Chain A
Amino acid sequence: MLRVSRADSLLGFAAIGNVLGKDLPITFLVAIDPADHLKDVDILVYREPYGGEVAYEPWRRQFRGKSAGDSLRVGREIRNISGATISVHAVTLGVRRLLAQLTAWHQSGAIR
């Protein structure tokens, strides 16, 4: 878990997670702001030959501003990517979990 700040001002928190793609793990980062809204998602390491489009910005920006209470479902709030369906489902699930964890830690005071 990472605490992100500039000077004395808290910018938010971030955590790194792994989800299984078709055969290999996808390593990603989720960052939230102090109000527990998702700041950004980034794909840190993508190892499979197919499905790397989940790292493209137009797909990742769909998550910005979401919070743990929001529903993040592929085909509804999150658009699928043709040719990357497995990775889209895996990363969306991973983001949902990590966002819920970060929010719970922050709200319980475990991170501050």
Chain B
Amino acid sequence: MAAPMPRPCEQVSRLLRLTTAGSVDDGKSTLVGRLLHDTQSILADQLAAVDRATRARGGVELDLALLTDGLRAEREQGITIDVAYRYFATPTRKFVLADCPGHVQYTRNTVTGASTAELAVVLVDARNGLVEQTRRHLAVAAFLRVPHLVLAVNKMDLVDFDEPTFRRIESEFAVVARSLGVRDVVSVPVSALHGDNVAARSGRSTWYRGPTLLEHLEAVPTGREAVAEPMRFPVQLVLRPRTPEYPDYRGLAGRIASGVLEVGDDVIALPSGGRSTVTGIDTPDGPVLRATAGQSVTVLLADEIDAGRGEVLAHPAQAPRVVTELNADLCWLADRPLRAGARVLVKHGTRTVRAIVTELTGRLDLHTLLHTEPPTALELNEIGGARIRLAEPLAVDSYATDRHTGGFLVIDATDGNTLAAGLVGPDPARNTA
């Protein structure tokens, strides 16, 4: 089967997932609206609706913030209650933006947005510089290991595009970022309201030689990190067609979480421990010799080992560790506080196991990313360390080494609600995380 020919008007572009964070009134809605507007992602009828809404509120100039207005309750109360997803594209890239409200339930939302993001845009108001909220946003992004950070210093028009103001905020931010272990930070002076340095270079900040926000979003490398990590293939289900055409077909369906898998690779299935060799990688377009992080494929093995749902395939030399106890950080997302002794479910990869939180080991100080004394309870939006005993083993990685296989959910066994985002801690058997 030949690879399909690209169509004349089809561009090959990559997907970048990003998230935004800023405290109230820093101009986050305006910035998101500006990005949508300047990439022509807003269509005529939506613009007309915003224009009507702007006039209804007595405004004259198009209020870009209204473009991202959400549910009626939010509009009526002038607040944002939930993460919203926005889509825009340039000729070379397509963007999925998790737009996170900056207040109420704020950690819950930012953690959600940051969990899938490869880049986070943190906004500050040029007149105020770094505030308490900025540090928290930065800490959450660092905690969830978002690989790329952008500081957008907004409302530069209100400080006359003053370079020293920008540089002061930029270096203050860099210090905090470094202390949190974030390396890739780019700062951009913008005016979301007027569009300076968002999609178009500003004539009012000639001293700034860096990229516009959009140029940077288009240039930042994507997906590379996941491909470099050890290979992990969580098995979702076993395909056994048993049709006349495929009487003996037995394929392991799943999505490569990280790394690269090739035909001929020796693999181990964990936690069960069975070993085999990859004889084929199937896609609906036919077999391939190699598949990389993010791809959904079906894997064929030489032997019928026990590798159903819940198992993870890995290369034996770089296998995840199999544990019955987790040391983890939990970001608590439920109203009811967490106390030691809680019986829960842990969902990791394609496996869900019963578990008991045996101990709370500390609360995370979002300023320092250090743990304080063990708390008696973990409240909504707090992050803390916990020890969790598992009823059955899990094959895990430290979140610090693999974002894709180091995260898990804590679920209420009774009502099924998601209680916490969990991040697997460092391997106690190793000195380095």
Judge: A and B partners, yes or no.
Answer: no
